[in-house]
Structure 1
Amino acid sequence: MKSILILAAGVAVGLLAAHQLNKTPEGKKFFEGVDSRAKEFSGAVVDGYKAREAELRAAVADAEGVIADLRAKA
């Protein structure tokens, strides 16, 4: 219970510090950079996911074709 309270207090202090830092021009510039990098990272993850999904769908389609050919021969 004590560790949860300490964690909550740490989160609250961190949010307060970030809010105060965001009020300065340097802080705004810092958070804009962080936001930009986070969006770039999430975009790369989404692109990778979509590419892998397309590869897997193509593999499944190929497998279905092979199964259909085997059934036709049997």
Structure 2
Amino acid sequence: MKNLLLIAIGAGVGFIAAHQLSKTEQGARFFAEVDGRAREFGEAVVDGYKAREAEIRAAVADAEDALGDLAK
């Protein structure tokens, strides 16, 4: 229980510090850069997921075709 309280206090202090830092010009630039990088990472994950999904769908379609040929 003590650890949970310490985590909550740490998160609160971190939030307050980040809020104060974001009010400065350097802080705003820092958070804009972090936001941009996070968005780039998210887009890369989505692109990778879509590419892998397309590969799997193609493999399933090939397998269905092969099974259809065997059934004939």
| Band the TM-score falls in, shorter-chain normalisation | over 0.9
- Correspondence for 1:56: 56
Output the CA distance in 2 between the equivalents of 1:65 and 1:24. 61
1:42-66 deviation digits (Å, cap 9, x = unpaired): 0000000000000000000000000
Q: Is 2:17 the counterpart of 1:17?
A: yes
Query: TM-score normalized by structure 1?
Result: 0.96
Percent of paired sites with the same residue: 62
Unaligned runs of 5+ in 2: none
User: For the residues of structure 2 that align with 1:35 and 1:65, how far apart are their CA atoms?
Assistant: 45
RMSD (Å) for aligned C-alpha atoms: 0.3
The TM-score with structure 2 as length reference comes to 0.99
- TM-aligned CA deviation for residue 38 of structure 1: 0.2
4+ residue stretches of structure 1 with deviation over 3 A? none
